[in-house]
Amino acid sequence: MANSMILEVTDVQPGQGNAPGTISGFENGEPRTLKAFGDVLANFSAGQTFEFEWYMGKPYQGQQDMLVSKHGSIKSLGGGSNGSQSPVEAPQRAKQTFQEPALQKQQNTAQGIMAGSGNTKDRSITVLAVMKSVIESGGSEQDFRTWLGLHDEIVHGKNRG
């Protein structure tokens, strides 16, 4: 279930590769950092105040992140803490300071399916498949990381020979 937040944004940083970017700012004077993916992240800009929905992500390596919901609306409330302006919908694509990677055409081969198209659903499927194999064979978390790392190196064309 998503919660609502009004955040005075001080910084927007794109993520590396498929990783989410970060949005930093203040909610009621308290510092907050949230994560958001490409299209959602593009709606935010430093020096502006936004109202949006967010949720707690699943714990990963002992850390639980706050994420901007891609299903809720993002409303710009204007600059700084001036809340007297009426909310307006944020533009669909804000000016970006980073270049998004070109989408690769997904292949319908076993290799293409394991490579995924770069979105989180495909990545999750790959991670779960590797995780299931490691668990079924009685492997450890380190074994999982080793096999996932090997998978990523092969998919991204690193020479292992």
pLDDT tens digits, 36-56: 988 899 899 999 999 999 988
Structure token digits, residue 40: 């959602």
Q: How far apart are CA 42 and CA 52, in angstroms?
A: 13
Question: With 80 as the cut, is the pLDDT of residue 97 above it?
Answer: no
- Phi/psi at 77 (5° precision): -105, 10
- Position 130 scores a pLDDT of 80
Which structural domains are found in the chain, ordered by start?
Answer: 3-89 (2.40.50.140), 110-155 (no CATH)
Which pair of tokens denotes residue 60?
Answer: 């990963």
Confidence tier at 106 by pLDDT (50, 70, 90)? very low
* Residue 147, Cβ density class (10 Å: 0-12 exposed, 13-18 middle, ≥19 buried): middle
Cα–Cα distance for residue pair 89/21, rounded to 1 Å = 21
Nearest to 37 by CA among 10, 71, 5: 71
Residue 40: strand, helix, or coil: helix
Q: What does the pLDDT look like over 109-160, one tens digit per residue? A: 444 444 444 567 777 787 788 888 878 888 888 888 888 787 777 777 766 5
24-39 pLDDT, tens digit each? 999 998 999 999 988 8
Q: Provide the H-helix boundaries in the chain.
A: 38-41, 110-115, 120-136, 141-155
